[in-house]
Amino acid sequence: MQIRLNDKLLDLCHPVVMGIVNVTPDSFYEPSRRTTEAEVLRAVERIVRDGGQIVDVGGYSSRPLADDVPEEEEIRRLSWGLESILREFPDVCLSVDTFRSTVARHVVEQYGVAMINDIGGGMLDEDMFATVADLQVAYVLMHMRGTPATMQQQTRYGNVTAEVIRFLAERLHRLYELGVHDVLVDPGFGFAKTLEQNYRLLRDLPHFALLEAPLLVGVSRKRMVYQLLDTDPQHALNGTTAVHMMALAGGASVLRVHDVKEAVEAVKVWRAVKGDWSFAQD
């Protein structure tokens, strides 16, 4: 359970936390929007201080009904954000959240990004898999149907868990054929799934072990949490932590989160429950 991130090996025998930095003006969780260099640097400093091991930078909001962002604008946002981060935190492990192969190539070649986090699972850009194979970077393979603008109209499944696992298995096989081996799988909570389907997937997370790939879970402050609790993203931290504990119990290796400190604490509690106290010496 190791993933190669540039010249480093990330040990996933114990769950790790990925912190979100959105260089966007319209992400669904307003406090996560970073539109100035100072805001970006404060966010990364907090992620590092609180124990996050990966920083995931996004320049395109994937919230439901999000407006399209031209490729040039996505590159512009990511470029100034990554330049700012690397100037102050040159050793930080960077992931970029994009479904565009041209954007992936730009951030890897220009800024040494170690991982591409693709909400489209290679379906929104037919060149993504070949690009990742050429660049030899780690890759997050996520399940989604449609696009952020249309996904909520594509929630008809016979068996949501079986269909998501089948999709991921088929796409994993294609990646392995191309020589991409550092792959994490993401069930895509909130992407083309109803509230009930999201919780069915959460309950069925142990089945994803069939894929024999590290599991990334991104549920932080999402609709599946705040809709269930009749609240909003700003008040969904407690519910998010509860879901994180269920995800850890289901085998999650990486939690992608807005609130790193709380997620790291959840991981510590989970490790203690499992009888693993080695984090006390970490």
Distance CA 34, CA 23 (A): 5
Evaluate whether 191 touches 142 at the Cβ level (below 8 Å). yes
pLDDT in tens, 22-48: 998 766 556 666 778 898 999 999 999
Q: Looking at per-residue confidence, does 95 or 281 come out higher?
A: 95
Max Cα distance, the chain (Å) = 49
- The class that CATH gives domain 14-276 is alpha beta
Q: Is 256 a catalytic residue?
A: yes
Q: CA torsion sign, 32 to 37 to 43 to 48? A: positive
Closest CA to 182 of 95, 267, 269: 95
User: Per-residue b/e over 61-86, b at no fewer than 16 CB within 10 Å?
Assistant: bbbeebeebeeeebbebbbebbebbb
pLDDT in tens, 174-207: 999 999 999 999 999 999 999 999 999 999 999 9
According to the model, what pLDDT value does residue 27 have? 64
Distance CA 161, CA 62 (A): 22
Catalytic residue among 77, 100, 105, 256: 256
Residue spans of the domains in the chain: they are: 14-276
Please state, rounded to an integer, the average pLDDT across all residues of the chain.
93
pLDDT in tens, 107-149: 999 999 999 999 999 999 999 999 999 999 999 999 999 887 7
Catalytic residue among 34, 221, 222, 268: 222
Q: Is 271 a catalytic residue?
A: no
| pLDDT over 70 percentage in the chain | 95
According to the model, what pLDDT value does residue 64 have? 65
- Global pTM reads 0.94
According to the model, what pLDDT value does residue 24 have? 80
